[in-house]
Structure 1
Amino acid sequence: MKNTLFAALLFCSATVYAQTPEPKRIMKHITFLASDKMKGRGTGSPENAKAAAYVAKQFKKYGLAPLGTDGYFQSFTAKVRRVVVPDSLREARNVIGFLDNQAEYTIVIGAHYDHLGEGRQGSSLAKGSEGQIHNGADDNASGVAGLLELARHYTQNKEKEPYNVLFMAYGAEELGLQGSRFFLQNPTLPLAKMNFMLCMDMIGRYNPERGIGIGGYGTADAWPAIFKDVTASVKFFTDRAGNGGSDNAAFYAKKIPVLFFHTGGHPDYHTPTDDADKIDAKAETAILELAIRLIDNAMKHPKLVFTPVQ
């Protein structure tokens, strides 16, 4: 009997542990997405499609229902505005997985998976960088790793949450939020059913002096109550604005409350030196644990009321 009880407790403990974000898993995702073999995941490239397939594979593994227009995928045509290549139109896709808790409203968690490829789409900040691989480990393999860890956490939770969760990896963000804007113009879930959107873009280079910034604090009436008494092992601060930074801006424009997680700029931003060995996976784990606390607190509230930020 004692052995049976011990085994049961061990199983439960392992189950709980499996739900927790882990540095090893974070680095596994980032190392794959930001490897030289992925050639910077430029929109329209075979490697960009491979990154999308990688995300879809993880979504399927975690049991998320496909909510694209073709399984997990929602295809669209992206335009390169600052053209330094012969073609300006690129095939792109969003990757969309749905955790259906049979709730009325849905929380959206998103991160973009594209980057600058080999520096030919016009947004590299390094001189003479055309032809060099821009791995984009922080921007935004770190956010995709966070997206996948949150998907793992909520799909393995034994208790059914009072909200559904829509997990989205956006394409063509670096070309002007084109993936998130396309989705919002062609939603596979009614916008009126969305509670709020949490965006993760560049969460892998934590600076303890700065802390993790969380934008969008002013976009809903309930955010102050949701943040109240929340603590974390990393320093964090809030900013009221919700209309800048990344794909959160597209949702804010549709009057959907947002939160935007970002660890700040650094000299490797949009250069060929944004590599996986510079990621602080332990700090990112703590950031994801903070995100979980905020999401769980938000689930205790009714649907949030959008407030514009002046």
Structure 2
Amino acid sequence: MKTYIFIFSILLTAISFKLTAQEIEINRLKKHIYYLADDKMKGRATGSKELAKSANYIENQFKKHKLVPLGTKGFRQDFTAKVRRVTVPDSIRPAENIIGFLDNDAPYTIVVGAHYDHLGYGNFGGTREPAHIGQIHNGADDNASGVAGLLELVRYYSTNKIKEKFNILFIAFSAEELGLIGSKYWTENPTMPLDKIHWMLNMDMIGRYNPDSGLAVIGYGTSSKFPAIFENITSDIKFNKSKDGNGGSDQTSFYKKNIPVLFFHTGGHDDYHKATDDADKIDYKALKSILELEIKVIDNSMLQDKMDFIWTN
């Protein structure tokens, strides 16, 4: 009997370890955000060597979890972006989308995206505080929080020992702050057929949850399947569904290509586009809850047939 109890105990421990390994962990989220939003990254401006370091960090995470490269040069998709808000000597800047594919041998693919660039020193437009021009804009919420979410979903779906009925394409977009340029470039030069996309999930500024206003889930009206997907989904955070597919982030580029979208966003705050958007201000517990909600939405979407598209404007 003792032998059976011992073996059963080992099995329970193994199962417990497997489940724990898949959980979204606050410490990992902190690690990603504190790295990307450190002063050493100098605000991750498009074209900067610091943004190149961020790209390397993201690519290494993709490699670690054995994603398939789906850029035009390995995981990278090169393009150029132009600064338009103000006149600067280096207005034309090199940029890269980082693209990794979780191949489940499925006919259709879910796209999960987040932009990884920010405003640098705030001297090429975009800062909301003129007195902060020349100071590092760390962009912890905008959008190290979304990239941390992206990387955690990479880890979760690549290690869950389940072969899902859909593939997942993970894209870290560059040059979003210059006008959604990275996502526009990808949708104009896709590295997989657009008609094979089930839907697109975008994370931009998901780190400053306000319990009074809740989480915004934008794009609910872009497919007739979303009501069924959200049926019976609960969360320990408040979330509000909005129909429109347009908005000031990268899901708009997909929406304009007749692809259903959801944009997860915790809203504006006093540090938005200022030099004070720092890692210690992120609500990591709520960020974890947001990602757990997204996993429920993604999993439920895999129970649906190919998503239809509805134009909401």
TM score, norm. by length of structure 1:
0.98
The residue aligned with 2:264 is 261
Structure 1, 35-44 or 7-16: larger mean CA deviation: 7-16
Equivalent residues in 2 for 1:118-197 (5 A)? 118-197=121-200
The residue aligned with 1:64 is 67
The residue aligned with 2:16 is 13
Counterpart check, 1:292 vs 2:295: yes
- SS of 2:241's partner is strand
**Matching residue within 257, 273, 287 for 1:270:** 273
Contact 1:211 / 1:235 at 8 angstroms: preserved in 2? Answer: yes
Which residue identity is paired with 1:203?
I
The residue aligned with 1:97 is 100
Counterpart check, 1:247 vs 2:250: yes
The residue aligned with 1:55 is 58
Which residue identity is paired with 1:159?
I
| Structure 1 runs (4+) greater than 2 angstroms displaced | 1-5
- Structure 1: tracts of 5 or more residues without a match: none
The residue aligned with 1:226 is 229
Which residue identity is paired with 2:189?
N
> Aligned partners of 2:8, 2:191: CA distance in 1, in Å?
46
Deviation at 1:10, TM superposition (A): 1.1
Which residue identity is paired with 1:147?
L
> Aligned partners of 2:254, 2:116: CA distance in 1, in Å?
17
> Aligned partners of 2:248, 2:227: CA distance in 1, in Å?
21
> Aligned partners of 2:118, 2:6: CA distance in 1, in Å?
52
> Aligned partners of 1:92, 1:8: CA distance in 2, in Å?
48
Deviation at 1:9, TM superposition (A): 2.0
Contact 1:84 / 1:120 at 8 angstroms: preserved in 2? Answer: no
> Aligned partners of 2:23, 2:98: CA distance in 1, in Å?
23
> Aligned partners of 2:14, 2:53: CA distance in 1, in Å?
35
> Aligned partners of 1:247, 1:82: CA distance in 2, in Å?
19
> Aligned partners of 1:195, 1:289: CA distance in 2, in Å?
20
The residue aligned with 1:33 is 36
- SS of 1:226's partner is helix
Number of corresponding residues: 310
**Matching residue within 212, 234, 238 for 2:215:** 212
> Aligned partners of 2:88, 2:6: CA distance in 1, in Å?
66
Q: Deviations over 1:133-169 (max 9, x none)?
A: 0000000000000000111110011121000000010
Counterpart check, 1:107 vs 2:110: yes
- Structure 2: tracts of 5 or more residues without a match: none
Deviation at 1:16, TM superposition (A): 1.3
Counterpart check, 1:282 vs 2:273: no
Which residue identity is paired with 1:197?
M
Which residue identity is paired with 1:136?
G
Q: Deviations over 1:200-246 (max 9, x none)?
A: 00000000111100000000011011111110010001000011131
**Matched-pair identity in %:** 59
Deviation at 1:84, TM superposition (A): 4.2
Q: How much is the aligned-residue C-alpha RMSD, in angstroms?
A: 0.9
The residue aligned with 1:73 is 76
